[in-house]
Structure formats: structure tokens, C-alpha cells
Structure 1
Amino acid sequence: MTIEATAPHAGVHRRLRKKAAENVGLNSAAGHLLLVLLSLVCLFPVYWMVATSLRPANAIFESSLWPSSMSLDNYIYALNAIPILRMLGNTLLIAVVVTIIQLFTGLLAAYAFARWRFPFDKLVYTGVALTWLVPFQVVMIPNYLLVAKLGLLDSITALILPHFASALAILLLAQAMRSFPREVIEAARMDGARSWRILWEVMMPNLRGTIASLAILIFISTWNEYFWPLLLSRTAENTVVQIGIQMFMTAEGNQWGPLMAASTMASLPVLIIYVVLQRQVIQSFMKSGIR
């Protein structure tokens, strides 16, 4: 009787497990299909940009997915019309310098907030956090007046100057340092290490993942900066590639071929960074808490 009573229950359990596995498989397949469709939607504008940049002038408005004929004339025209290589160099220089400076100042400030106690430290930390909520466009005019008084208009220095510190860098690094094991820091202090050595030789090597993610986020954000260079720049030689792209948009009409060629050249470095460092890029957006 026991065997006869147990056998049907075992069969029912097997059928339920099989059905559950089938449901999981269907849900997984549906999820992957949705992700593929969303990926195609996201990648299609990039593909259309590249395809349009390769179309000759007489076929620029073709609606076919694949160009009927390909030409590099748009790239040649873009390179001759504006100093785009100089602009790309300026953009790369600004992005690299801003990334290094913001990481350096962020590490120093974050260590102070995470490991030191001083009067009104929480108030100062709250003030830094609140500055992150203020859009840069709000302080553009005061910064412009300051740069003008310093005589730095239309210069690479002026494009870097307002970005010496980042509230985002300070907040992320401070949170990472607060979760750092205190035992390790105390052991370093017992060995005679002071704060400077603890920061650079103990904490920083163990925060490489966070620092790398933050560096990628700062670099991409600086590379895509548009409004501040638009306000300061006067000559094409001292501006960034985003302003160069805008030069192909005039009141007489948009030069779509060269515009897409310049956009492709401007997007290529960031796309390469994303392909090479995809995991770190995703982690940087997750840790920053923004899109």
C-alpha cells in the first residue's frame, strides 16, 4: 500500500518539475528575444549613421538599408572642410586630463570624508552631494564670466578649468572607502604608514574596479560635452569635435553626408572603448545610479 500510494505522488512531482523547467525555458527564450529586439533598435541609428556616411551625394536620401554604392567622399570632405583631426585631438586631450584630475581630487576628498572627522564634516559632505543635483547649465554663466576675467576665452585650459572636481567621483569613492575593512587600515598604521601612504598603497590598489568604472564614466561624459565648448569656443582650432559636427548644420540646409561622416569619426573612440571595456562601462553606470 505504501509503494502504491507513493508512486503517483512521485509521478506528479516529476511532471510538475518538468513543466516548471519548460516554463523557465520559455521565459528565458522570450527574454532573450526581447533583448535581441531592443539591441537592434538601439544599434539601428548607429548603423544608419555609418551607412549614410558612405553614401555618395546623389544617393544620400536612399531608403534602402544597404547603400547601392559606397564612397569615402563624405569623409574626405569633412576632413577638408574643418580641422576635425585637430578637434578630435582636443577632445581626447580634454577628456583624458579631466578624467585624471577628477579622479585625483575625488580620491583625496573621498578619503577625507571617509576616514577623517572634522567640524561640520557631514554638512560639507551634504553640500558636495547637493552640487551633484545642480545642472552644469545653471552655473555656466558665472563660470563664463570667471574665465573671461582670467583672459582664457577660446582656449583648451578654459574647457578644462570648471571640471577640476566632480561630486559624483567624491560620492562614489567615499562610499567605496567607507566599506573598506578597517582592520587593514589599522594594520597599515601599526606598520608606520601615514594617511598619504595608506591612500595610495593600501586603499587605491583595492579600489581599482571602482576607479576604472568611474574613469570610464567621466571620460565618456567629458567626451560628449557640448554646451560649455559652444559657449567658449571662437575658433575651430581650439574647440572640440562636437562643435565641429554642428558646423555642418547651417541655415541653408544640413550637409547630411559630411555630418554623418564627422559623427562617425566622433563616435568611433567611444565605441571602441565600449567594445573593449564593456563590463566596466556597464558597472560604471550601475554604480553611479544613473541610466
Structure 2
Amino acid sequence: MTTDPSLRAARAGMNTAAGHIVMVLLAIFSLFPVYWMIVTSLRPANAIFDTTPWPTAPSLANYDYALSAIPIIEMLGNTLLVSSVVTIAQLFTGLLAAYAFACWRFPFDKLIYTLIALTWLVPFQVVMIPNYLLVSSLGLLDSVTALILPHFAAALAILLLAQAMRSFPREVLEAARMDGARSWRILWEVIAPNLRGTIASLAILIFISTWNEYFWPLLLSRTPENSVVQIGIQMFMTSEGTQWGPLMAASTMASLPILVLYVVLQRQVVQSFMQSGIR
């Protein structure tokens, strides 16, 4: 039974329109909390619980108060430094370890790989106290360095990159070796450039996870100047009540670097998903 081409085109158009409507609704559902956070940060104190969709008298007073109440600029700088260093360190150590597991054969390699995978199942809260004792013995309490050291390597980065490298064409690696390239050159000039999408996706995950870290900085920090922005945001929540306006202002300022990171790397992420679909 044949179908009229115009009818098929109409059905395809309806399906496309329905898909776009669903995506628009999901986008609104996802972005509305962010929009409400920004709107609340612009409301004056006497209109903080107003239900209008936009502030009737927008003001930057909450931002001024947040900047004066806590050293949020220093905290943002510390958070950006810690997140950037941890992201670079985990990508670097992950690439080295993943290349070893994917391209080399050595004694007990599968056992070591399995043990690394098992560490991924252990929550950081379980090893938080031993890490604290180690950092304390090194005299690094209340320092930015202490926030970085326990996150210098991660099982997630190793597992994800090793899996991506195992799917890399072996013919390309053999050709590089026949041309005289050693492992270091193969990793950085052959494999890494072709895993840009995977690396970008992993970088976003690591950066956001580190940026949102709360318990470890709370355990280590003694002064606001050596703390991170998540601790600063919590300072607006006290037993006397929550200062919603400054809290939303600080949260908005804390969200901007994450948004910038995604905008910069979104192309690589999209290409990664497209390449995965083509495979």
C-alpha cells in the first residue's frame, strides 16, 4: 500500500514540530530555576518573596552586600584555581594511566585496573578523615594546596579515557610506531588530538564536580580568604535565618564560570556525541 508523499511530508513535519515543542518545554523547565535565582538576586529585601516573574524595582544591593559581607572575589579565585588545577591534573594523570592500560601489557595490569575501578565505588567521605590526617601532618591545613592534593588523580578519568583509547584504531598506532614515534609522541600527537570531544566532556565533569565540592573545604578551611565560594554561600544561611537576596547574588556569581566553561567547550562536547553516534 503506497502512501501519498505529501501525507508523509506532513507527518514528518508534525513529528518534527512535536519534538521541538518537547525540547522547548524541557529547556524552559531546566532554565527556570536559574532565571528565578537571577531575578531573586535583583529584588530588594522587602520584595524577596514576591511571585512576579520579574523584579518590579531591580537593584544591585544584594550584590553589593554579598561582596562586602564575605571575601567572595578571593573565594571565587580560590575555587577557580582549585577547579582548574584539579581538572588539568586529573586529565594529565588519566591520559598517562589510560594509555598504559590500553596500549601496554604488564604484570597484574588487569588486577590493577580492577582495583582502580573499585576505588570509584568508594565515596570520598570514607577517606576524608585519613586524608585530613595526612594533610594535617604535612602542615597544609587551611591552604589551597590541601584542597587540590587528594584530587590529583581520579578513577573516573582513567576508566573513561582507557575505554576511549581501546576503541582507537590499532592500525594508526602501528603506523606511528613504524614511523619511529615513541609512546610519549603517540599519546600527545596521535591519540589526544582525536579524543578532544571525550577530553572536553571529561573536563566539564571534573571542573563542575570540583567547583561544587563542599565537605572537603568545610573540613579544611579556617579562614574565608583560604576557602572556596561554596563555603561563602553557606555563610548566608545561619540559625537566625537565611538571607535569600545575598545568597542568590552569591550563587549567581558562583554560576557564571561554569556557564562560561560550557559555552567554550560545548562544540567539542557536541562533536563527541555525534562521533559516538556515527560509530
Which residue type is aligned with residue 83 of structure 1?
P
Q: CA deviation at 1:208?
A: 2.2
Q: Using the TM superposition, give the Cα deviation of residue 285 of structure 1 relative to its aligned residue in structure 2, in angstroms.
A: 9.0
8 Å CA contact 2:214–2:231 kept in 1: the answer is yes
Query: Unmatched 5+ residue regions in structure 2?
Result: none
Which residue is equivalent to 2:103? Answer: 115
Provide the rounded CA distance (Å) in 1 between the counterparts of 2:274 and 2:13.
27
* Structure 1 residue 73 corresponds to structure 2 residue 50: no
Please, which moves more after superposition, 189-198 or 38-47? 189-198
Which residue matches 1:174? 162
Q: Does 1:13 align with 2:5?
A: no
For 1:30, give the aligned amino acid: A
Find the residue that maps to 1:24 and give its secondary structure. Answer: helix
Q: 1:152 aligns with which of 137, 140, 144?
A: 140
Does residue 63 of structure 2 align to residue 92 of structure 1? no
Over residues 69-118 of structure 1, what are the superposed CA-to-partner deviations in whole Å (9 max), with x where a residue is unaligned? 01111000100000000000000000110111111111110111011111
Question: TM-score scaled to structure 1, two decimals?
Answer: 0.88
Separation of aligned partners in 2, 1:280 and 1:202: 17
CA distance 1:183–1:286, change in 2 (3 Å): closer
Q: Deviations over 1:39-82 (max 9, x none)?
A: 11111111111011111112112111111101111000100000
d(CA) in 2 for partners of 1:133 and 1:282? 28
- Residue of structure 2 equivalent to 1:134: 122
Aligned to 1:6: none
Secondary structure at the aligned position of 1:172 is classed as: helix
Name the counterpart of 2:192.
Answer: 204
Note the C-alpha offset of 1:268: 0.9
Structure-2 residue corresponding to 1:103: 91
Number of residue pairs matched by the alignment: 275
| Residue 230 (structure 1) aligns with | 218
Letter in 1 for 2:113: Y
Tell me the SS of whatever aligns to 1:13. Answer: coil
- One-letter code of the match for 2:111? L
The alpha-carbon deviation at position 192 of structure 1 amounts to 2.5
Q: Distance in 1 between matches of 2:274 and 2:186?
A: 27
1:240 aligned to 2:228?
yes
Aligned equivalents of 1:104, 1:273: Cα separation in 2: 19
Structure (1 or 2) with the larger CA radius of gyration: 1
TM-score normalised by structure 2 residue count: 0.92
For the 8 Å contact 1:83–1:237, the answer to whether it is kept is yes
Deviation at 1:125, TM superposition (A): 0.7
Q: Residues 148-195 of structure 1: CA distance to partner in whole angstroms, max 9, x if unpaired? A: 222211110110010011111111111122122222222222232222
Contact 1:217 1:281 in 2 (8 A): no
Deviation at 1:18, TM superposition (A): 4.0
Aligned-partner residue type, residue 155 of structure 2: A
Identity fraction in percent: 79
Alpha carbons 2:200, 2:265 under 8 Å: kept: no
CA RMSD of aligned residues (A): 2.0
